[in-house]
Structure 1
Amino acid sequence: MTTTPESAINDTRKAELLSTTVEHIDIRTFDARPIVDAMAKMSFTSRDLARATDIYNQMLADRDCTIFLVVAGSTSAGGCMDLYAELVRSNMVDGIIATGASIVDMDFFEGLGHKHYQALEVPDDNTLRSLLIDRIYDTYIDEEDLQNVDHTIAEIADALEPKPYSSRAFIREMGKYLVEHGKKDNSLVKLAYEHDVPIFCPAFVDSSAGFGLVKHQVDAMKAGRPYMVLDAIADFRELTDIKIKAGVTGLLMIGGGVPKNFVQDTVVCAEILGHDDVQVHKYAVQITVADVRDGACSSSTLQEAASWGKVNTAIEQMVFAEAGSVMPLLASDAWHRGHRKGQEPRRWAKLFENAAANQG
């Protein structure tokens, strides 16, 4: 009697669990305008979403408005990845502030050809660990694929001149890498590189990028050579520079936390730098499931942020909903109304390339 090796059993079990990929929604394939229009005549979260969608459309219709997409949480892994990519491709956002996980563990991860998987069942998490499967609620990631991302990040860092980089500058190198070696055209990081849309991750190393950059630094130290470093101050300075030059700005925020507070703080930072005429963010939408019982709302509510001189309370809307269930409606509505069609892209990433050229 022969027995099946445990490794083969584990491989079979892992294949079973990673058998159904997450399919990202395509906002071009359905027109959400009728349902959003109908929701505007309802109450509760439905009406909130309709008003938030209207505010986003106001941002798009305002020819002077620079729009920041602000992303925290796991909606990219959960099926909104192509949605965000389409906003870049269609010139519907001008800058991105996000968590490192959204950019690295999710988008760059799929840009390298890896997938997220639906958890059709959730066994004991210790079992998942033994199979090298990571879990995000009801979504799986193959840990071995994620480690490939870690090593790729280290490879990119190794190839750079050893000097300080903002997260924006490093993510731009990631986009360039995907243009040359990527496996997915519809990657936010890749499209942002191609369309000169800057991406900022104020907590960049809180992701797989952190593991790769630590490896880069440790390997360089062992070899006695210099290494690149991330400059968090440059992140703040660069984003504030965009805010100063942009004038009118709008925020489309999914989740909250560090990205949300970071982009709002640019107004205060500009004032500290002597720009007393800087405008608060004129438009603001936040989609979140956080609340204020802990003294915040995954960073301050939009109304509260007005007391700090960050946002305009006249054109803002909080939507208390799981973003993956409402963002497809908001984005599809705005895409089909097409307020930005024919408008010249702002290409804010060029601002820093031109500055570097002038310094050189």
Structure 2
Amino acid sequence: MTDTRVDAQRKAELLSTEVRHIDIKSFDARPIVDQMEGMSFTSRDLARATKIYNTMLEDKDCSIFLVIAGSTSAGGCMNLYADLVANNMVDGIIATGASIVDMDFFEGLGHKHYQALEIPDDNVLRSLYIDRIYDTYIDEEQLQDCDHTIGEIANSLDPKPYSSRAFIREMGRYLSKHGKKDNSLVKLAFEHDVPIFCPAFTDSSAGFGLVKHQVDAMKAGRPYMTMDSIADFRELTDIKIKAGTTGLLMIGGGVPKNFVQDTVVCAEILGHEDVEMHKYAVQITVADVRDGACSSSTLKEAASWGKVDTTLEQMVFAEAGSVLPLLASDAYHRGHWKSRPKHGWAKLFA
């Protein structure tokens, strides 16, 4: 028979050290990035990528999209992304459901991610209800609270189709009233009219809550809300058409990257043949052609599809958590964001 007191003690030991999210405002990376410009390899790539991002911020006609895939939010970049929104350094977000729900919304509810100071048997972690992302832990019981909260939000809405943007806005509204963390990306995006799109939204904790919402409604014989992925694509394309000049700051690849790039092609199909390719693009990734091109298509390759202009683009092949803080801190301290117009693209759907 399992001693629950021993298990509780062991779980508390494993979940004793919180991940501390980096604060880009607390240090000035400009001298480092300036020196990297005179170096070679990834250092010089990062310096050029940072210069391109600063050019996006300087260009008052440019709408900037932050594209997030992977687990950088859980790994310590969560406040970094929130600071980009709070300081008008991005105008729209396209991300995986995990980044938005399992990580940011999760912490917005008051929960935490923890450093794994040791890597025990994963079967032991399972027995303690601890989930692992590389060297980061999540309390599964807290994650289930996130699932149930998503279900509660769904239950409170009119039973009709919603784009992920529309539903995530309701998540932000919930956090603005009930949240436990001021510096939440989802909350700040709601307050600053920055739309968030998750093209694979239910591939996250949101999926569990939404499935329960639907099943409970079906059993009770009442209508239920649904997610409209076509509306996602249409809405983001609407923004691209109206924005004109656009820039991409992409962390990782996969679905979010392709989704935002495809808006150019979609606009053309809708008859907007004069739509601009994304003028600026930076991608930080560890994927290359050796993975069978699953997520590794370069920005130059995207030009062949008519998605990205190749004049001001830069690939940075690095683990994003190690270089993104330098780029973001440099851009924050150069201060071009202070004179940017606020686009407020979420108001387009009000």
Work out the CA distance in 1 between the residues paired with 2:205 and 2:298. Answer: 30
In the alignment, structure 2 segments of 5+ residues that lack a partner are none
Q: 2:9 aligned with 1:23, yes or no?
A: no
1:162-181 mapped onto 2 (5 Å cutoff): 162-181=159-178
Does 1:228 pair with 2:225? yes
1:86-235 aligned within 5 A? 86-235=83-232
Counterparts of 2:119 and 2:291 in 1: how far apart (Å)? 30
Q: Does 1:311 align with 2:329?
A: no
Q: Report how far residue 318 of structure 1 moved.
A: 0.3
Q: Offset at 1:342?
A: 3.2
Does the 8 Å contact 1:260/1:299 carry over to 2? no
Q: Unaligned 5+ residue runs, structure 1?
A: 354-360
SS in 2 for 1:293: helix
CA distance in 1, matches of 2:340, 2:308: 25
Residues 16-25 or 298-307, more deviating: 298-307
240, 265, 269: which one pairs with 1:243? 240
- Structure 2 partner of 1:357: none
1:74 aligned residue: 71
Tell me how far 1:299 sits from its aligned partner.
4.9
Deviations 1:167-197 (A, max 9, x none): 0000000000000100000000000000000
- For 1:264, give the aligned amino acid: Q
Q: CA deviation at 1:345?
A: 1.0
- Runs of 4+ displaced beyond 4 Å: none
Assess if the C-alpha contact under 8 Å between 1:14 and 1:131 holds in 2.
yes
CA contact (8 A) 1:261 1:299 kept: no
Q: SS of the residue aligned with 2:249?
A: strand
Return the alpha-carbon distance in structure 2 between the equivalents of residues 136 and 5 of structure 1: 26
- For residues 223-275 of structure 1, give each alpha carbon's deviation from its aligned partner in whole angstroms, at most 9, with x where no partner exists: 00000000000000000000000000000000000000000000000000000
Q: Which moved more, 1:291-300 or 1:275-284?
A: 291-300
Separation of aligned partners in 2, 1:97 and 1:75: 14
Q: Secondary structure at the match of 1:341?
A: helix
Q: Distance in 1 between matches of 2:310 and 2:256?
A: 20
| Residue in structure 2 matched with residue 286 of structure 1 by the alignment | 283
Q: 2:282–2:313: 8 Å Cα contact kept in structure 1?
A: yes
User: Within the alignment, does 1:255 sit opposite 2:281 as a pair?
Assistant: no
State how far apart, in whole Å, the 2-side matches of 1:163 and 1:246 are. 28
Q: Distance in 1 between matches of 2:31 and 2:318?
A: 20
Q: For residue 348 of structure 2, what is the amino acid of its counterpart?
A: L
Q: Which residue of 2 aligns with 1:328?
A: 325
What amino acid is aligned across from residue 288 of structure 2 in structure 1? D
Residues 127, 342 of structure 1: CA spacing in aligned structure 2 closer, same or farther, 3 A cutoff? same
AA at the equivalent of 1:342: S
Whether 1:343 aligns to 2:340 is: yes
What SS does the corresponding residue of 1:312 show, helix, strand or coil? Answer: strand
Between the aligned partners of 2:339 and 2:273, the Cα distance in structure 1 is: 33
Show the counterpart of 1:266: 263
Cα pair distance change 1:253/1:297, threshold 3 Å: farther
Report the Cα offset of residue 301 of structure 1: 1.0
The answer to which of 335-344 and 316-325 deviates more is 335-344
Q: Deviations for 1:86-108, whole angstroms, at most 9, x for unmatched residues?
A: 00000000000000000000000
SS in structure 2 at match of 1:93: coil
C-alpha RMSD of the superposition: 0.9
Aligned residues: 350
Give the C-alpha shift of residue 344 in structure 1: 2.8
C-alpha distance in 2 between matches for 1:343 and 1:58: 12
1:84 corresponds, among 59, 81, 84, to 81
Scaled by the length of structure 2, what TM-score is found?
Answer: 0.99
CA deviations over 1:325-348 (Å, ceiling 9, x no partner)? 000000000000011203331000
TM-score (norm. length: structure 1): 0.96
- Cα shift at 1:5: 6.6
